[in-house]
Structure 1
Amino acid sequence: MSIKEDVEHGVQEEQIREPLMPSEEKNLAVTNEDDGSANESSKGHPWMVYFCTFVAVCGSYEFGCCVGYSSPTQTAIRKDLDLSISEFSMFGSILTFGAMIGAITSGPIADFIGRKGAMRVYTAFCVAGWLAIYFAKGVLPLDIGRLLTGYGMGAFSYVVPVFIAEIAPKDLRGALTAINQLMICAGVSVSFIIGNVLTWRILALTGLVPCAVLLFGLFLIPESPRWLAKVGREKDFEVSLQKLRGKDVNISHEAAEIQDYIITLERLPKAKLLDLFEKRYMRSVIIGVGLMVCQQLGGINAICFYVSNIFETAGFSSTVGTITYALIQVVVTGFGVAVVDRIGRKPLLLVSGSGLVVGCVVVAISFYLKVHELALQAVSILAVTGILVFIACFSIGMGAVPWIVMSEIFPINIKGQAGSLATLVNWFGAWACSYTFNFLMDWSSYGTFILYAAINALAMVFIITVVPETKGKTLEQIQASINA
């Protein structure tokens, strides 16, 4: 029996087992008028949902601070601590190893102690990491601090979009989840900019600010109602959902839909890692993992980590190029947040993928001209244009949308395991892309970007043939249709 059939069967069983009283029938009749519009959570003022999102995306901003820290501090740290280039390279790259560990453990921890409890744990790791970096007198505490912040960053990359998706009404879910990527970009950009005027130790302390806001805010927001329903805390579930939707909103329809879906999933055996590869879950796993592969292997981290070097190689000012890069990234990501629930996930991914192919081809042409000493006056213009097209198109779709879809498609009984797997693949792809970039550039500068263009073209084929549109559907509807 499919999950969708199980849900329908569970609803029928509940109706047979507990006949409605006359007053309840009257309420149900009122509820069902106008296609149930009275029960739509979007009818209430979602101020608490907005506030919860603001608190959660402090973790995303922290993510950006971690990513953006190493670029503006490289010269100062190497000078103050007398580090070799290989020692600093270890310091920079160990972040992704910490993120992989965070990805593996984030799902089970978030399922065991809740989304809020998990965010507290990950914040503690980031605080410890920044303090270790601040007080570091040598390479070992520096690397330990970077590893700890990497762990927190990798775990935040899973739990923040999942928490937002689980609390948001369906008509706001895409935009609110996309704010995750916007805040990551903001964290990176701010670190790039203020890192030019602050010492590397003080810059480490600025990473504590989003941690403090997050820890304080978690005391003021409710837990994910879907997680509460999953662990059987029915009273807390109803209180949380009512608080999120507004005290005057009728939540009975949404609450019943969530509970019926949870009941159906509880009849299934508890998910293990190998269960993700069963036929009923295979499509959602392929979609989630596949989008993460498309996101990372298309070249984003190679360009992000080495953008200054790319501009210098092309003969353009790295300072001007990097600042322009940072500003475009934030502005375009903000635009994507505004339109994702209007245009839809799939169209944004396809527009983004098309732009990534074009950007890579333009950069490849630039390096081809330089290598063969043709039209040298056009080399820097083409390189800058291609890089800016690439980051703009990545920011509008491929940056945020895979995380949105990942947070939507997994049934709650496998969300921890499947989310951890997808996040692990994402961070492994980030490491592979950034690690191989310099080797590829030594092989062929223009060939490297032709390779990225080909990967992005294949990603578009994957999106067209495999990825569904999830705009305007509840999480339960999405999961039932995918895993039917």
Structure 2
Amino acid sequence: MVEREQVVVTFACCLGPLACGFALAYNLTKNPAELLEPQWGAWRTYVHFIGCLSGGFFSGFVSNYGRKVVVLVASAPLALSWLFVIFATQVWMVFLFHAVSGMCTGMIMVVVQVYVAEISVPKLRGAVSTAPLLAFQVGSLLCFLLGEILVWKDLAIVGVCVTLPVFVSVVLCMPESPRFLIHEQPGHALSTLQWLRGTENDVMEEYHDISDSTHIDRWNVECEDLIRPTFWRPLLISCGLMFLYNMTGVASFTLYGMELFAEVSSAYINVAHFVVTAVLIIAITLSALLVDHIGRKLLLLLSLTIMAASAFVLGLFLFLKDLHKVDSYFVYQWVAEVFCVVLFTFAHGSGVGPIAWITMGEIFSPQYKWLGVSMASMVLWSSMLAVDVLFHKIRVAVATGGIFWFHCVVCVGGYIFVLVCFRELKEQRLDTITKAFIRKHENLIETFIARI
């Protein structure tokens, strides 16, 4: 049974990711043609992702000052940045919006993910931890829908209205994380934990587990700590999943999906974003229902298997089309290609996508969490930027089919990575997860020597 208080808190803190999703979708949907020349269109996306990268870099550091405080503080410039678009008269104002909104997105997404993992009960942590990503996609879908009927300035006004409720929800409904309060106000941490779990439940065992971390200095990370298994093993897993999040090809499939719809009519270019986002929402919802029952690892392996098959088949279709220099190698090939795009997107949204975020929030110990989540977030946004920048360049070099075969190879490599390195985290307490990474050898060097 999910406690009512936890549902309210999760909904409140997920309004931040919803606003972030709206901002990112605005970047993809609307182009202020009166201000920006066509050659500047791609740079809007680059600036936004660079902003996300910088926000992700600082996210772990600022989270040590309080999860609630960071979400509240980051929401203010996110809301105000929309004013640069509403009153934009110069190109730099549009780019400033994308830079600021990107930085706030990078911070909010990471901190909310950590917060949700910290307030969740172990048996439901996987399902609840999908909520921020689901809210992000809902915000994107909302922007795509409204973008069909509103001009860019009117849509920016809606963006302000979407972002402003974050302040009210955070102030009124979102308590600080008990795992943060245990270092600052131990008594308040107990009362907050009791409120989250319900007054009828005994929380003393969980509170004592959290209290064991009070002796940890969250700021004191030395060089020798970075080679200890309690840091580098979780970092390897989290960064590996964030790398797979993008390099398996979800952005490439979306971009190619846009081309498929554009071939039918230029009016349907944005439909690709709508279809992909709608499929992702359905897939993430399914993932939330399954992740705490069948486990993270099995869901990841199934996801990567379907993604690899979809990428290979789509690459084969495009290779045959390029080889014979025809628009379509067989009748209704475009239907088969659309099916591959949808199937890949569904597999990504039900496995790799949400579990990469879930793992980032739950896998790091309190001492290294601020550093680990920052590094994992940087891997995510830098790889996303790389795929966006290199898609068309790689396409010219190896043809479209080659791109999807490359993603197929990455999926196969990801399958091996998950099979060998990933540790099942289902229904484990956060403190138990940390202890599970301690093995016979104390650091990376000793492990490497032992393997040799």
* Aligned amino acid, residue 284 of structure 2: T
User: Does residue 1:73 correspond to 2:23, yes or no?
Assistant: no
Superposition TM-score, scaled by structure 1 size: 0.85
- Whether the 8 Å contact between 1:369 and 1:376 is mirrored in structure 2 is no
- 1-side partners of 2:210 and 2:158: how far apart? 40
Find out whether 1:282 has 2:232 as its counterpart.
Answer: yes
- 1:331 paired with 2:266, answer no
Instruction: Give distance in 1, aligned partners of 2:372 and 2:347.
Output: 27
CA shift for structure 1 position 236: 1.3
Q: CA offsets per residue over residues 140-190 of structure 1, 9 Å max, x none? A: 000001100000111122111100000111111110101112112111122
**Secondary structure, aligned partner of 2:221:** coil
The question of whether the paired residues in 1 share the 8 Å contact of 2:29 and 2:144 is answered with yes
Match of 2:127 in 1: 175
1:473 to 387, 404, 428: 428
Number of the residue aligned with 1:301: 251
The answer to whether the aligner puts 1:163 opposite 2:120 as a matched pair is: no
The aligned length equals 433
Q: Deviations over 1:210-268 (max 9, x none)?
A: 42222111122210000111x231111111111111122221111011112433x34x9
Matched with 2:442 is: none
The 3 A distance-change label for structure 1 pair 273 and 441 is farther
Structure 2 equivalent of residue 238 of structure 1: 190
Q: Does 1:185 align with 2:142?
A: no
Q: Deviations over 1:338-373 (max 9, x none)?
A: 221112111111111111112212221221232122
| Equivalent position to 2:362, from 408, 420, 438 | 408
Structure 2 CA distance for aligned equivalents of residues 184 and 270 of structure 1:
33
| Mapping of residues 313-328 of structure 1, within 5 Å | 318=269, 321-328=272-279
Partner of 1:17: none
Q: CA deviation at 1:92?
A: 2.1
Query: Which region of structure 1 is more displaced relative to structure 2, 97-106 or 435-444?
Result: 435-444
Question: In the alignment, which of 204, 207, 221 is matched to residue 271 of structure 1?
Answer: 221
SS at match of 2:310: helix
Per the alignment, do residues 259 and 292 of structure 1 end up closer, same or farther by CA in structure 2, a change over 3 Å counting?
same
1:274-296 alpha-carbon deviations (Å, 9 max, x no partner) = 84344442111111111111111
Contact in 2 for aligned 1:350/1:463 (Cα 8 Å)? yes
Whether contact under 8 Å (1:357, 1:456) holds in the other structure is yes
* In structure 2, C-alpha distance between the alignment counterparts of 1:85 and 1:280, rounded to whole Å: 48
Deviation at 1:73, TM superposition (A): 1.2
* 2: CA distance, partners of 1:199 / 1:314: 23
SS where residue 200 of structure 2 aligns? coil
2:412 corresponds to? 457
1:359 equivalent in alignment to 2:310: yes
Which residues in structure 2 correspond to 1:75-114 (within 5 Å)?
A: 77-78=32-33, 80-81=34-35, 83-112=36-65, 114=66
1:152–1:63: structure 2 CA closer, same or farther, 3 Å change rule? same
Q: Is the 8 A contact 1:305 1:434 kept in 2?
A: no
1:273 CA drift (Å): 7.5
Distance 1:313 1:449, change over 3 A: farther
SS of equivalent residue, structure 1 residue 207: helix
Aligned-partner residue type, residue 368 of structure 1: F
What is the 5 A alignment of 1:132-151? Answer: 132-151=84-103
Q: Sequence identity, in percent?
A: 24
Q: Which has the larger radius of gyration?
A: 1
Inter-partner Cα distance in structure 1 for 2:222 and 2:162? 34
Aligned partners of 2:334, 2:198: CA distance in 1, in Å? Answer: 54
Give 2:154's match in structure 1, choosing from 187, 195, 202: 202
In the TM superposition, 1:220-235 aligns within 5 A as 220=172, 221-229=174-182, 231-235=183-187
Aligned partners of 1:386 and 1:343: how far apart in 2? 25
Pair 1:298–1:314, CA change in 2 (3 A): farther
Contact 1:66 1:149 in 2 (8 A): yes
Distance across 2 between alignment mates of 1:457 and 1:315: 35
Mapping of residues 378-457 of structure 1, within 5 Å: 378-443=332-397, 444-457=399-412
Distance 1:273 1:478 in 2: 22
Deviations 1:109-147 (A, max 9, x none): 1112x0000001211121122111221112100000110
Question: More deviation in 466-475 or 360-369?
Answer: 360-369
Supply the AA of the counterpart residue of 2:400: S
Distance 1:311 1:199 in 2: 21
After TM superposition, give the deviation of residue 378 of structure 1 in Å.
Answer: 3.6
8 A contact 2:254–2:273 mirrored in 1? no
How do residues 252-271 of structure 1 correspond to structure 2 at under 5 angstroms?
252-263=204-215, 265-266=216-217, 270-271=220-221
* Cα separation, partners in 2 of 1:305 and 1:238, compared to 1, 3 Å: farther
Is residue 54 from structure 1 mapped to residue 11 from structure 2 by the alignment?
yes
User: Which position in structure 1 is the counterpart of 2:447?
Assistant: none
Q: Is the 8 A contact 2:19 2:162 kept in 1?
A: yes
Greater displacement, 218-227 / 308-317: 308-317
SS of 1:377's partner is: coil
Structure 2 unaligned blocks of 5 or more: 440-452
Cα separation, 1, equivalents of 2:270 and 2:99: 28
* CA deviations over 1:432-459 (Å, ceiling 9, x no partner): 1111001112221100110011111101
Say if 2:300 is the partner of 1:341.
Answer: no
| Superposition RMSD in Å | 2.1
Contact 2:238 2:376 in 1 (8 A): yes
TM-score of the superposed pair, with normalisation by structure 2 = 0.91
Give yes or no for contact 1:365–1:382 (8 Å, CA) kept in 2: no
